[in-house]
Amino acid sequence: MTQAKTLLLLGMLMAFAACNTTQKTSTSKSVSKVYANAVATPFRQKVIDYGKKFVGTSYKYAGQSPKTGFDCSGFTSYVLKENGVQVSPASAIQATEGRKVRLENVMPGDLIFFGENKKKISHVGLVVKRGPEGITCVHSTTSRGVIVENVSQSTYWKDKILFARDVISED
């Protein structure tokens, strides 16, 4: 068992033992899910911290640089690439990279994908945290540029969440 899996299991057991009640949050399908706190490995935390440095950077269509601005997939590919993880700069291709993970199991550093329907990816963000309040990500939006936002509670994003992918783990 990898160290990350061991830490996740330990964290989940501690959270369960500490409290007999759980908070629920809605997913894009309006199904109640229980989100336990996800613990970031040091490398995943480094990726997240690096991504957060660009909060406030403007949006630019097809942008892949902090100097000119980012679109959503340009932002995620830049942050990951600068940390040694190679992914495509196109969200549709990023949506096929790594391995798919259930939303209730996303880890900080995973990619989260959005769309109007199951066939077309329209947006991607980098998961910052998962907790009882849902999923928070850092992403580049057309209206606000790079922001950190709880997408599970966002009236705009919550119904557009499709799935997540782990492009960091090597197992």
| CATH number of the domain bearing residue 23 | 3.90.1720.10
Could you tell me the residue range of the domain that residue 152 belongs to? 3-166
Asked if residue 171 is part of any domain, the answer here is: no
pTM exceeds 0.75: yes
22's CB contacts (< 8 A; 6+ apart) are 34, 132
Q: How far apart are CA 150 and CA 137, in angstroms?
A: 6
CB count within 10 Å of CB 75 equals 29
Query: pLDDT confidence of 109, banded at 50, 70, 90?
Result: very high
Asked if residue 16 is part of any domain, the answer here is: yes
pLDDT (0 to 100) of residue 130: 96
pLDDT (0 to 100) of residue 159: 94
Asked if residue 64 is part of any domain, the answer here is: yes
Domain count of the fold of the chain = 1
Asked if residue 106 is part of any domain, the answer here is: yes
Tally: H helices and E strands in the chain: 4, 10
Asked if residue 76 is part of any domain, the answer here is: yes
Two structure tokens written together for 78: 């830049």
- Inter-CA distances, 3 with 13, 84, 130, Å: 15, 20, 19
pLDDT in tens, 69-103: 999 999 999 999 999 999 999 999 999 999 999 99
Strand boundaries in 21-85, DSSP class E: 24-26, 32-34, 64-65, 69-70
